[in-house]
Chain A
């Protein structure tokens, strides 16, 4: 069995995930990357997107991270995120509606483009995560 390390995903509302895992793939702002045990200490920002965890017994689990910061140490990784979700918590219909709404707002000057863009990214990440189930 491959070496494992501790992963903690912490959201403002509480601890979302706290367990030993073998590998996690995250979308960083600088591109997608994987973390294994004994990773070089690194602090990096996390983009809005999906993540995929592989446990020691090869079982895997994925979910959505809505941005944040990851602090990686050899034996422990802590991800501070604005919000994290499992696919089963995501309402596909709501996400699709949000996507439509964000697209509408991007065309309209009345709304804040940056906010609409962020909403769009969130909606897309949610839809991807749901459909990848």
Chain B
């Protein structure tokens, strides 16, 4: 064995300190993951209640003439790309970026809104049009961040700068499994807004007959105008928190396997170290014995 004892010792030490870092990151990520999941769960009641009231308005007014429902021939497409600000999260950032690249058919007609510096850097280095960047919010997004992003893309959609807007985020399936997904944000389709719980509504019809004379103030059209931005913001917000949870999940998994690998490496190195040490001792003994033999 060519390596000497000191070298191996030094390597063990260095792997060990890396292990400590990855282990600490793993713990931090699990703590953050818990928080992000709470946030994600907290959003649900709002979103459901909103879809319900929007659905009711759309149904009542029967109008689908809102600007944001305009289906146009798709030429220019905007993407809201939700990535993290930091790396070391396995394939988390790369998966999202790859999904966007695969979806883009024409580089010139794609506009990127990057949330998180990883996504921004990725597309900037490949000469895509970065229309907007939002840094430092991916880890703890709040509703106002989401509303800001949503307002910008809605404005662009209204002006006809883009014909479609997608949100690309990472779906949180479980702590160990996350999937990059693409979701159409605009134009809104009427189907999205119709209440999903139709069957239940029919069953309850007898009970809730008095609900049929719902009044609207101001008129439904205007209320819808107010609700749609909220709906879009809330969708973006949902994607943001889900991505945040996924980022932590991905990082935790990545760091967990890094820690395991480090442990394996340390075990291997320790074995090697002992062998080398043993060999050195054996050699020394045989030298002494040899020397003693010679003196006889």
Asked if A42 and B216 sit within 8 Å, CB to CB, the answer is yes
B191 at the interface (CB under 8 A from A): no
User: How far, in angstroms, from A13 to B215 measured CA to CA in the complex?
Assistant: 28
User: How far, in angstroms, from A13 to B53 measured CA to CA in the complex?
Assistant: 18
Which of A14, A15, A40, A74: most chain B Cβ within 10 A? A14
Complex interface bits, A94-128 against B, C-beta within 8 A gives 1, otherwise 0? 00000000000000000000000000000000000
Q: How many residues of B contact A (CB 8 A)?
A: 31
Complex interface bits, B105-143 against A, C-beta within 8 A gives 1, otherwise 0? 000000000000000000000000000000000000011
CB < 8 Å neighbour of B215 from A10, A29, A43, A69: A43
Enumerate chain A residues within 8 angstroms of B15, measured Cβ to Cβ.
none
Q: How many residues of A contact B (CB 8 A)?
A: 25
Enumerate chain A residues within 8 angstroms of B220, measured Cβ to Cβ.
43
B8 at the interface (CB under 8 A from A): no
Given that A41-B210, A43-B53, A78-B53 are contacting pairs, would A12 and B217 also be in contact in the complex, using a CB cutoff of 8 Å? Answer: no
Given that A41-B211, A43-B214 are contacting pairs, would A82 and B57 also be in contact in the complex, using a CB cutoff of 8 Å? Answer: no
B237 at the interface (CB under 8 A from A): yes
User: How far, in angstroms, from A5 to B160 measured CA to CA in the complex?
Assistant: 45
Enumerate chain B residues within 8 angstroms of A30, measured Cβ to Cβ.
217-218
Enumerate chain A residues within 8 angstroms of B234, measured Cβ to Cβ.
12
B223 at the interface (CB under 8 A from A): yes
Asked if A43 and B216 sit within 8 Å, CB to CB, the answer is yes
User: How far, in angstroms, from A68 to B211 measured CA to CA in the complex?
Assistant: 21
**Shortest 7 CB-CB distances between A and B: which pairs?**
A14-B42, A12-B143, A41-B214, A44-B217, A42-B215, A10-B46, A12-B46
